[in-house]
Structure 1
């Protein structure tokens, strides 16, 4: 049910994405306003994710996840009634604050999994997110005839149904007995500060930021590149990004758990960073078929990288599971906030520039992952490394 709750939550969010730019324009927004509306979600998620994760360590996963699902329904309703640019921007901020619940869902799934199944569980959460973004925009495009408000209210109804289903079906105890933190009454902010001070966590957060920056830059600029080099229009681009989402979902949902069982999370994370970089450096060159092959390679790399880095972060954080996963989501959100802007500026200088920059960042991500406990892979039963600076 945790995977279903995350999937439906992302589905509702994805439904309105194709219409947001047009709604912003209709309300009189310029390109700057559009960038602000799209960035507001990531910035709010950057702030909220570690706090929600830490609160879930203290009060439990279920109540925090349900609260966030309720907030998603409210944010979509607010989006539908927003009659001005400030109101629309505020609604997206509310959505981002609730979007920090991804970390709670990750922690929930890890709590319910056996120690050796953590990466597989996190991969399933990633697949749920990916499929939500695959099907959500397609549904939104199909419902466009209802108008922006109508589509927003449909998405809000989906979110409300998700909340009701979660209240009935989500397990009441996320952690088996005997696996709860020794202290549940501590200050969540103090827990976050302590988690950030872990030496084992810093290179992983840097790797997440670098790799997400690279991937978000590709997402922001490929429409321009594909249109110029291969004549792709909106329909073709939609199919391309649907294919990228499907590849990522398949890798995270069915492949990553198997390969990490054999090779370990750290090696697979490094492999994922390498594949992501290889796809990016190949993408702006050659004919259309090579571009599509590069997209499949980088989607595979991102599908391998995201759940394995999340697993390594979870192990580094010890009992502050929700808090450290929230910090990981915060690093990802920060990259998604600034990556598209930087990639757009780089594209204006030279179309290949954001992809070459992204490949270099993937190399940095691989180096940071290797630096994390260099010389030894984590194993499912390994004790977390809690080493404050």
Structure 2
């Protein structure tokens, strides 16, 4: 298998995983609304996606190291297909939605760990920034395309045709299984490090700082998506203007990932991580200040550019720092940190800024990003 073909299959598998996930998650909420599920239970449905993978992330990383990335990718794709089938057949009750959400979260986790371990194990030393930048770009493309399928298959009503979307997702999941089978099998990834365990990873210099930066950056992305519409309401912006701002933020993140390798070569990985995180922090700090729309758009572009660089840079650093045979576990450890940050940080920011509205939440998030950017200075210059 040529390197270019292998690369294309991996990027297609990455995008496909995110398409399925980002069409099923909102559709799950729409089905819950159809079932008159109380708003409080919508949080339980969301947690079903995030909590279950926390329990299996590290074993999944170990399995990727031991049995190979392709087997893990196939298992993840099969679980995603199972989730789509479960939504279609069991999604007429809340218990069925929760069960399908657990399958969806677990399948997404297995697929992502396999993809990241494969990028880490098959990329030449010194090219991980470019490889992970392209990988993250493909994932962003899938995340943007997923919700569009709701429009394509769901009709034009306030509540889309959820049954039709679930059925279409089953077909997409079958295609994803085919892509997973075509992924290369990296033999070296199966050779475990003698005596290597979680403590071996935790002793890596700068590991905790990398995990901290990664989880804070990802939580900041979630908070921006959640609270920017609320801030727009407070500032008197129209829904279309807020949608444009969110789109601009997403495009800026994709641009930073597409050119990540060149940027890292030009200024250095650690400096790029510090500058991009601190730049996003400053932009988010200024976002609640009343200003012309074009100025706010420029700030959101800066924030998006900085937030887009954080995830692939920490993946690249981990890939070059972790011993061969332990990179699947290294990526799963990072995902555990990310999931924890997604669960804890938004809630903590909301509690700390309860009396300050959306502006207060963004302020706390900006301070957290600033802290993470300073912490990133403790990373080794070259793993």
> 2: distance between equivalents of 1:195 and 1:276?
29
Q: Show the counterpart of 2:96.
A: 87
Q: Show the counterpart of 2:232.
A: 226
> 2: distance between equivalents of 1:317 and 1:95?
28
Is the 2:18–2:142 Cα contact (8 Å) retained in structure 1? yes
Change (3 A) 1:309 1:165: closer
CA RMSD in angstroms, aligned pairs only: 2.2
> 2: distance between equivalents of 1:87 and 1:357?
37
Is the 1:266–1:369 Cα contact (8 Å) retained in structure 2? yes
Matched, 1:25 2:14: no
- 336-345 vs 69-78, greater mean Cα deviation: 336-345
Q: Show the counterpart of 1:247.
A: 252
Change (3 A) 1:95 1:128: same
1:139-189 CA distances to partner (integer Å, 9 max, x unpaired)? 21332226112101212211211211331x312x336xxx55653798xxx
Give the alignment's TM-score, normalised by structure 2.
0.88
1:108: how far off? 0.6
- 336-345 vs 93-102, greater mean Cα deviation: 336-345
Matched, 1:113 2:123: yes
Matched, 1:156 2:160: no
Which SS does the other structure have where 1:143 is aligned?
helix
Matched, 1:357 2:364: yes
1:59: how far off? 0.7
Q: 2:322 aligns with which of 317, 320, 324?
A: 317
> 2: distance between equivalents of 1:219 and 1:39?
17
> 2: distance between equivalents of 1:53 and 1:12?
22
Is the 1:206–1:365 Cα contact (8 Å) retained in structure 2? yes
Q: Show the counterpart of 1:96.
A: 105
> 1: distance between equivalents of 2:271 and 2:37?
46
For structure 2, the residue ranges without an aligned partner over 5 or more in a row are 1-8
Q: Show the counterpart of 1:370.
A: 377
1:137: how far off? 0.5
Which SS does the other structure have where 1:349 is aligned?
coil
Give the alignment's TM-score, normalised by structure 1.
0.87
Which SS does the other structure have where 1:222 is aligned?
helix
For structure 1, the residue ranges without an aligned partner over 5 or more in a row are 383-389
Q: 1:8 aligns with which of 1, 12, 16?
A: 16
> 1: distance between equivalents of 2:200 and 2:53?
21
Q: 1:337 aligns with which of 312, 335, 343?
A: 343
Q: Show the counterpart of 1:387.
A: none
1:201-224 CA distances to partner (integer Å, 9 max, x unpaired)? 122112222222333222221121
1:297-316 mapped onto 2 (5 Å cutoff): 297-316=302-321
Q: Show the counterpart of 1:170.
A: 183
Matched, 1:45 2:53: yes
Matched, 1:276 2:284: no
Q: Show the counterpart of 1:192.
A: 198
Q: Show the counterpart of 1:261.
A: 265
Is the 2:57–2:335 Cα contact (8 Å) retained in structure 1? yes
1:191: how far off? 2.5
> 1: distance between equivalents of 2:73 and 2:233?
40
> 2: distance between equivalents of 1:135 and 1:180?
31
1:47-66 mapped onto 2 (5 Å cutoff): 47-66=55-74
Q: Show the counterpart of 2:5.
A: none
Matched, 1:138 2:148: yes
| Count of residue pairs brought into register by the alignment | 366
Change (3 A) 1:79 1:341: farther
Which SS does the other structure have where 1:115 is aligned?
coil
Which SS does the other structure have where 2:92 is aligned?
coil
Is the 2:21–2:108 Cα contact (8 Å) retained in structure 1? no
> 2: distance between equivalents of 1:238 and 1:72?
29
